[in-house]
Chain A
Amino acid sequence: MCEILRLENIVKVFPGTIALDSMKLSVNAGEIHSICGENGAGKSTLMKIVTGVYRPDTGQIYLDGEKINFNNPREASKKGISIIYQETSLFEEMTILDNIFLGDEITKNILGIRCIDYESMEAETIKVFEMMNISLDFNQKVKSLGMAQKQIVEIAKALKSKSKILILDEPTASLTEREVVALFKIIRMLRDDGVAVIYISHRLDEIFEVSNRVTVIRDGKFISCRNTSDITKNDLVTDMVGRSVENYYPKFETEIGEEIFCAFKLNQFGVLHDVDLNIHAGEIVGLSGLAGAGRTELALAICGFVKIDSGEIILEGKTRRISSYLDAMEAGIVYVSEDRGKYGLVTEMSIKHNISMSQLKAMKSTLFIDNEREEKLARKYIDEFGIKCKDSDLLAQNLSGGNQQKVSVSKAISLSPKVLILDEPTRGIDINAKVEIYNIIMQLVKNGTSVLMISSEMAELIGMCDRIYVMQSGHIKGEVNRVDFSQEKLLKMALEVE
């Protein structure tokens, strides 16, 4: 087995974060190589560099021993690197045949004009399908295919273009067990044929079942690369977690009161399964889990954005019917989205207008909005939260990420919620701003508000929460109290180890 892909000293920096820090990677031809890491470890960025979507700031990429630079994804795919994402990028209204050959159709000359040669394309597709041991009517439109079949088409596409490296990003997320078995059969066949398969997944069982080696990355750094036959799942988890928890969380003891919120047996077909969760007054409850675990979906369901199929929401002992976000707000539940640019703020409007937006009725005096009232409200939060601005008329888009988040949170807090749901409250924010947000959260709970914090940063949850629920595939896998907090424990629950 010889090395076909080598990355050395890859550095990729984005404003505010170092996505990849001296990353290295080595993949051999004819192997299935898994890449493992938490949310935010850098897997996605790494793959984007391998497939030519990003260019590394520094570092070298070697393909088959040759140093290369990709300027765009097309160059990478021409060199034999293919990637299949969870959301396939096929053209729904076109046939399987068209999709497999798009941009690269086989042509023949008829009377001096280049025409598409359907016979040759069909013949080659049949050959590829036979190799993969599948049969599909390649003249049907892709939109009539199921997820598993679409993936197969994407793999066939990669095979047809003689890919040397095939990257699969969380391929089994939407497959049934039978389909997973079929997929593995195909991957193994590819490997035996000399293709290098890079397999990205959170499912440790699958990693051990199908891959030869596994590379663990954490915080943008390379941690380890070992044979799956030499290690155990626990070893992987240790590698994935292994950092020390920074102690800059301004957590202090607060009075935790009665149970104020309870979600009882929430079900949403295919998304949430029998979710039970409760929150006490003045408590910070964390919601942990890996990408796709269902945390945001749970929040959206609680807040009435999406209908639940069964289950109850009980607030202060009374069952509430929440069929829209308005109901949730009236009940005292407020949600702050992780995508503040899209759902948290109107960036083209001022700080003042953003903050007052959620309670315009209270800003009214007779018929019109009272500017003084708006100003007062905005002032309150600007001073309390230290939003850095000259005055409240500054447009939100001119604020830094941290300050934008403060505005977003102010808007929510001005409604005096009983339960505040924060979805990734410190994503994309520098350390200082993070601490300021943590302080705001502590102020809130001191005054009796309860907070449900969704975060992918385990350290953050461990630093700030009183209790943490761990989710996986729409289930609550476990509940951990502050005394028992540990990153390893949380990750193991999220990965279902032991």
Chain B
Amino acid sequence: MGIESKTVKKKILTAEFYLLIFFIALLLLLVIIAGEFFSLNNVMNILNSASYLLIGAIGMNLIILTGNIDVSAGAIASVVAIFIAFVGKTGAPLYILLPVAMLVGATLSLINALFITWLKIPSMVATLATTQLFSGMLPLIVEGSVYGLPNSFTWLAFKAKIFNVIPASVLGAIVLAIIAIIFMKYSKFSKKIYAIGNDRSAARILGLHVGKIELSVFIIAGALYGVMATILATAGQRVTTTMGSGLEMTMIAAVVLGGTRISGGSGKILGTVLGVLILSIITPAMNYLGLSPDWSDTVMGAIILLSVIVGAISLVKKRHNMFDLKDKLSRENKV
């Protein structure tokens, strides 16, 4: 009986639990310090931005779990936004814009994946390059922005409300998050994602198609970026060429804040949800308190840096030896 209660305790006092406590504490702090901050408008805005951030962050989470990273997510979102702006000018409604966005997002992400799986370019390098590629080509196509978009375009932001006040994007985010959580627990595919992030070569020896799995993960993430871009783009009658710029940093920060290791192999969607919630109130709170937006960039950077450091420290803890032990053992096993 003693063992059972221990595991039950273990199941509640997880990292996600502490994150929830932290979020609630932050919330309470804000309520006390700046109660007027929580106007209906502000809260709905925060919910909306948390929603599109979460949708994109779920995709980023999957990519990071495989041991990769994607710094081009923001650039992809920008391209998708401009693309559906052009489509939206024709008066196309949301049920056309959304699939198109997902398709374009998936395609751009596929380009990343091909660099990484076919040409074996490290994901950091590949996505840095495609960031420039994707965001660089936009000013060539559009001068500044696409404007004068019709009502059909902005339907999601202005008209689609639950109980007349909550943005529909919130519903989308909740549904996607639930699907993601169930998927990551109950699908065979998710186990393969974790395995690859843990030990690629062991996964390969086990017979897993590492390349195929990475490709799939990037495509899924790309589609999710597309959804995120749709929510972003349809927020107004004008879509600029830099709508998604910098979003990847926030997404990555949310993912690592939520407990996913930057090197991959472990992490939960629920953690990312909490990470997104926390970050979603930090940024507008800082704005409200008069701090410049650059401070929020600094906070994002600090969060990412801290999680990388924590990860690195746990690696150094393993007995430090100049010559890799695994190296040595594999050499001795050579013949």
Give residues in A with beta carbon < 8 Å to B: 17, 19, 39-42, 44-45, 53, 72-74, 77, 85-87, 89-94, 98, 102-103, 105, 107, 114-116, 137, 139, 169, 291-292, 296, 300, 305-306, 337-339, 342-343
- Of B198, B322, B326, B335, which one neighbours A91 at CB under 8 angstroms? B198
Interface pair A89/B202, CB less than 8 Å apart: yes
Check A44/B199 contact, CB under 8 A, given A103-B206, A300-B322: no
With A139-B7, A291-B332 as given contacts, are A105 and B188 in contact (CB-CB < 8 Å)? yes
- The interface centre, meaning the residue of B208, B323, B326, B335 with most chain A CB atoms within 10 A of its CB, is B335
Counting chain B CB atoms within 10 Å of each CB, which of A92, A103, A338 scores highest?
A103
10 contacts between A and B (CB under 8 A): A73-B205, A89-B205, A91-B203, A103-B195, A114-B188, A115-B187, A137-B3, A137-B7, A300-B321, A339-B331
Residue of A nearest to B334 (CB): A44
The residue in chain B whose Cβ has the minimal distance to the Cβ of A337 is: B323
Taking the closest CB of chain A, its distance from the CB of B15, in whole angstroms, is: 13
Whether the pair B199, A89 counts as a contact (CB closer than 8 A) is yes
**Complex Cα distance A94/B65, Å?**
12
Choose from A17, A92, A116 the contact partner of B186 (Cβ within 8 Å): A116
Beyond contacts A39-B335, A89-B199: 5 other A-B pairs, Cβ-Cβ < 8 A, are A44-B333, A91-B202, A94-B265, A105-B191, A291-B333
- The residue in chain A whose Cβ has the minimal distance to the Cβ of B186 is A115
Given contacts A92-B265, A103-B207, contact A45 B329 (CB under 8 A): no
Question: Closest 10 CB pairs between A and B?
Answer: A74-B207, A93-B266, A91-B198, A115-B186, A291-B332, A89-B202, A93-B265, A44-B333, A305-B322, A40-B335
The answer to whether A19 and B335 touch (CB under 8 A), given A93-B261, A103-B207, is yes
Distance (whole angstroms) from the CB of A22 to the closest CB of chain B: 17
B192 an interface residue at 8 Å Cβ cutoff?
yes
Dominant SS among interface residues on chain A: loop
What chain A residues lie within 8 Å of B261 (beta carbons)?
Answer: 93
Shortest C-beta distance, B76 to chain A (Å), equals 28
CB distance from A15 to the nearest CB of B (A): 13
List the A side residues contacting B195 at CB < 8 Å.
Answer: 91, 94, 102-103
B199 touches A91 (CB 8 A): yes
- Whether A338 contacts B331 in the complex (CB less than 8 A), given A93-B194, A93-B266, comes out as yes
* B9 interface residue per 8 A CB criterion: no
B212 at the interface (CB under 8 A from A): no
What are the interface flags for B267-296 relative to A under an 8 Å C-beta threshold, 1 for contact and 0 otherwise?
000000000000000000000000000000
Residues of A within 8 A of B199 (CB): 89, 91-92
Kindly state the separation between the CA atoms of A137 and B2 in the bound complex, as whole angstroms: 13
What residues of chain A lie closer than 8 Å to B197, measured between beta carbons?
A: 93
Smallest beta-carbon distance A8→chain B, Å: 21
Residues of B within 8 A of A137 (CB): 3, 7
Chain B interface mostly helix, strand, loop or mixed? helix
| Residues of the A chain whose Cβ atoms lie less than 8 Å from the Cβ of B191 | 94, 98, 102-103, 105, 116
Please measure, in the bound complex, the distance between the C-alpha atom of A39 and the C-alpha atom of B332, giving whole angstroms: 8
Residue of B nearest to A101 (CB): B191
CA distance A245 to B210 in the complex (A): 48
Q: Which residues of A contact B188 (CB under 8 A)?
A: 105, 107, 114, 116
A169 CA to B203 CA, complexed, in Å: 20
Decide if A292 touches B205 in the complex (CB within 8 Å). no
Of the candidates A73, A74, A93, A139, the one whose C-beta lies within 8 Å of that of B198 is A93
CA distance A45 to B323 in the complex (A): 24
Say yes or no: A300 contacts B332, CB within 8 Å. no
Instruction: Write out the residue numbers on chain B whose beta carbons fall within 8 Å of the beta carbon of A292.
Output: 332
Could you tell me the distance between the alpha carbons of A300 and B192 in the complex, rounded to whole angstroms? Answer: 38
Closest Cβ of chain B to A199, distance in Å, is 16
Chain A's closest residue to B326 (CB) is A87
Interfacial chain A residues near B203, Cβ < 8 Å:
91
Chain A residues near B7 (CB-CB < 8 A):
137, 139
Q: Determine the distance from Cα of A338 to Cα of B335 in the docked complex, in whole angstroms.
A: 14
Within 8 A of A (CB), among B190-231: 191-192, 194-195, 197-199, 202-203, 205-208
**Which chain B residues (1-30) contact chain A, with CB distance < 8 Å?**
3, 7
User: In the complex, how many angstroms separate the beta carbon of A473 from the nearest chain B beta carbon?
Assistant: 14
Given known pairs A105-B188, A116-B188, the reply for A44 and B335 (CB within 8 Å) is yes
**Most chain A beta carbons < 10 A, residue from B7, B191, B195, B329:** B191
Contacting residues of chain B (284-328) with chain A, CB-CB under 8 angstroms: 321-323, 326-328
CB distance from A325 to the nearest CB of B (A): 8
The docked-state distance in angstroms from the alpha carbon of A44 to that of B331 is: 11
The contact of A74 among B206, B322, B332, by CB within 8 Å, is: B206
Contact B186 A296 (CB under 8 A): no
Best-surrounded residue of B188, B208, B326 (most CB of chain A within 10 A): B188
Minimum CB distance partner of A51 in chain B: B205
A343 to B328, CA, bound (A): 12
